[in-house]
Structure 1
Amino acid sequence: MGKIIVSANVTLDGVVQDPTGDEGTGRGSWFTRIADTDREAWAKAEFEEALGAEVLLMGRRTYGYFRSRGWPSRPGEWADRLRALPKYVVSSSAVEGWGETTVLGGDVVTAVKELKEGVAGEIVVYGSGRLVHTLLEHDLADELRLMTYPFVAGAGARLFPATDVVKPARLVANRTVGAGLALLTYRC
């Protein structure tokens, strides 16, 4: 059975929205404010994560974001690895292909459970806020890998949705990435 890994870039206060400032929220671009050495260390950590993945799972908007940023034709080992991975996209409509891409339509919870049962290894979820909320709500995420940025956004879409119950998680690893980022890994 596969293990769903939510891999997210978050501010200290849990905001995931508008990391590059492209959405024009006025609170974004916290990703672009880190030092070049931190960005290089981040890219190395992300590449290492991609090497351990068997599958990528994304929402339609995140998938489109990767496509619009040139990942299907971008040079380099990290891009090559992402291109080679099977990609599953939660969408109610067709998406333009990027390597081996499968659309998961219909009931998201059922489709993700079936995917999880059919994969041996890590199913990495990038971005995909609405999908992550669904995964967390239905206890489908097995691990959270939070690349934490030293900024407080104060407002914006957050990684964690409102819940009616306390959901426990256990810290299983932590490390500094570059000089200013912290990678926190929790088991759900």
Structure 2
Amino acid sequence: MGKIVVSQNVTLDGVVEDPSGEGGFRHGGWFHQFMGQDFQAWAELELAETQGAEALLMGRRSDEYFATRSTVLSGEWVDRLNRLPKYVVSATLQKPKWTNATVLAGEVVGEVSKLKQQVQGEIVVYASRPLVRTLMEHDLVDELRLTVFPVVLGAGERLFGETSDKRPLRLIHTKTVGNGLAHMTYERARTA
């Protein structure tokens, strides 16, 4: 059975909006602005994660974002991302932009549940806030890996929105990435 792993760069106050600064958000660009000297350590963390992944899961906008960058960036991480099978959740997309991708056009919860049955290993979700919220709401996320950047923005879209109930998690690993980033791994706390 597959394991849904959400991997996300977030600010200390949980903001995930416009890390690159390309989206027009007034506090956008925080990823590079607050990365400091930690890029190499962060890149090593990301490469290790993709080497352990069996597939990627994302929404339509993430498919477009990554597909554009995958043709101009190079390196082991990008090469691995390009080779992985990708599943794009969308009700409107006919043909995904990124290589080696399949559209999951049906009802999200059912499609992702089937995907978890079909893929053995980690199915990593990058940069897909609406999808992550849906997956969390329906208890489909097995693990959260958050790389926390040392900044409080005070505004912007956060990774988590309102949920119908509490979602208990258990901290299973922490580490410092470089000199200024914190990486925390949580698993879903299952009740007896």
Q: TM-score range by the shorter chain?
A: over 0.9
Structure 1 stretches lacking a partner, 5+ long: none
Partner of 2:65: 65
Q: Give, in angstroms, the shift of residue 80 of structure 1.
A: 1.0
Partner of 1:91: 90
What does 1:4-153 align with in structure 2 at a 5 Å threshold?
4-69=4-69, 71-72=70-71, 74-92=73-91, 93-153=93-153
Alpha-carbon distance between aligned partners in 2 of 1:43 and 1:156, rounded to the nearest angstrom: 25
- Contact 1:72 1:99 survives alignment (8 Å): no
Q: Give, in angstroms, the shift of residue 100 of structure 1.
A: 1.4
Q: Give, in angstroms, the shift of residue 37 of structure 1.
A: 2.7
Instruction: Specify the code of the residue in structure 2 equivalent to 1:187.
Output: E
Q: Give, in angstroms, the shift of residue 34 of structure 1.
A: 2.8
- The 3 A distance-change label for structure 1 pair 14 and 35 is closer
- Contact 1:4 1:123 survives alignment (8 Å): yes
- The 3 A distance-change label for structure 1 pair 36 and 151 is closer
- Contact 2:63 2:98 survives alignment (8 Å): no
Q: Give, in angstroms, the shift of residue 72 of structure 1.
A: 3.9
- The 3 A distance-change label for structure 1 pair 168 and 35 is closer
- Contact 2:34 2:151 survives alignment (8 Å): no
Equivalent pairs counted in the alignment come to: 187
Q: Give, in angstroms, the shift of residue 73 of structure 1.
A: 5.4
| 3-state DSSP of counterpart to 1:163 | coil
- Contact 2:5 2:141 survives alignment (8 Å): yes
RMSD of aligned Cα (Å): 1.2
- Contact 2:137 2:164 survives alignment (8 Å): no
Query: Any idea what the Cα deviations from partners look like across 1:129-187, whole Å, max 9, x if unmatched?
Result: 11000000000000000000000010111111112322100000000001100000000
Structure 2 stretches lacking a partner, 5+ long: none
The more displaced of 22-31 and 80-89 is 22-31
The more displaced of 97-106 and 56-65 is 97-106
Stretches of 4+ moved more than 6 A in 1?
none
TM-score (norm 1): 0.95
Alpha-carbon distance between aligned partners in 1 of 2:90 and 2:110, rounded to the nearest angstrom: 14
Q: Percent identity between the aligned chains?
A: 55
- Contact 2:3 2:122 survives alignment (8 Å): yes
The more displaced of 27-36 and 13-22 is 27-36
Alpha-carbon distance between aligned partners in 1 of 2:103 and 2:176, rounded to the nearest angstrom: 36
Alpha-carbon distance between aligned partners in 2 of 1:95 and 1:82, rounded to the nearest angstrom: 18
- The 3 A distance-change label for structure 1 pair 35 and 17 is closer
